[in-house]
Amino acid sequence: MPHLTASADARRIAGGEQLGFGVPGYAHPLLAPAEWAELARPGTPLHWAVLNIANGPGSRPDPHCLEAAGRLRNARERALHGEAPDDTVRASGGRLLGHLDLAHGERPFGELIADARSFIDWYRIGGFYLARCPADRARLPAVRRLTGTLHALLAESDSADGGGRLVLGHGTHPYPGYAEAADQLVTFQGPWTDYRWSQVAEWTADYPPERFAHFVHGVPRTHLEEAMRVARWQGAGTIFFTDRNDRDGRSGQSDPFAALPSYWDEIVSRIGPGISE
């Protein structure tokens, strides 16, 4: 069992919480057509998926990404308006998030806002994933300024229902103040060998599971149930587990999260259908 720094009764581990997927960034739709098709499949418990063309929105609208974005947006519309698909299982209604690379706080504010506007104008995204987000206390004011501006941009957009969603891609537990700067924090991103023995920060017990996401690669099929148990025990509501790793050539990608895990259908069935409000 993973070592915890918080008491068991402080965790949300009853098992009744609905886990769902956050997809940190599939490959381009031309390279990963099956992956993008699965996101809009009825019954997929998707919370959100990240669109990343060229470490951002790219220099112009990409027709293949426009098509993928449209399919996911239509699936969300069907789910939120209660239109039952043919197999009678509701689509999850996940949001599409634009990828903004903060480069650990080194990218200029103006560049990030320009990328954000392109994502909104071209792809009508429903939020942003702030990759390589800093985690230290010193950079928190700059991140809060950025997220405040992004929320304002999303509120003005007709595509971001509910004001949109902002996810901070720390990959580790940040200074606690970051929890008030966005809707969700990625507090773990790494290999299963680290995750199964990982610790959870005590301050996370003050927040519900929907505020945290975990991304784990190299999870063997035989340990899938254990990995889901760790996520629930540590209070994460959004996950992406894969048996691929950063040295895996099966997908032709160095990013283990760029392709479907080999047990995708199994993990979908274990989580079950849901809808992201």
- Please report the pLDDT score of residue 257 as a whole number: 95
- Please report the pLDDT score of residue 273 as a whole number: 66
CB count within 10 Å of CB 43 equals: 18
- Please report the pLDDT score of residue 17 as a whole number: 56
Rg (CA), the chain: 18
Report, as an integer, the average pLDDT of 25-38.
Answer: 94
pLDDT per position as a tens digit, 135-163: 999 999 999 999 999 999 999 987 666 67
| E strands, the chain, in order | 20-23, 46-51, 95-101, 127-131, 165-169, 184-191, 212-217, 238-241
Indicate whether 240 pLDDT > 60: yes
Q: Which residues of 126-162 are buried (b: 16+ CB within 10 A; e: fewer)?
A: bbbbbbebbbeeebbeebeebbeebbebbeebebbee
Indicate whether 263 pLDDT > 60: yes
Split at pLDDT 50, 70, 90, the class of 93 is low
pLDDT per position as a tens digit, 45-79: 999 999 999 999 999 999 999 999 999 988 888 77
Split at pLDDT 50, 70, 90, the class of 43 is confident
pLDDT per position as a tens digit, 9-19: 444 443 445 79
Which amino acid is present at 268?
V
**Longest Cα pair distance anywhere in the chain, in angstroms?**
51
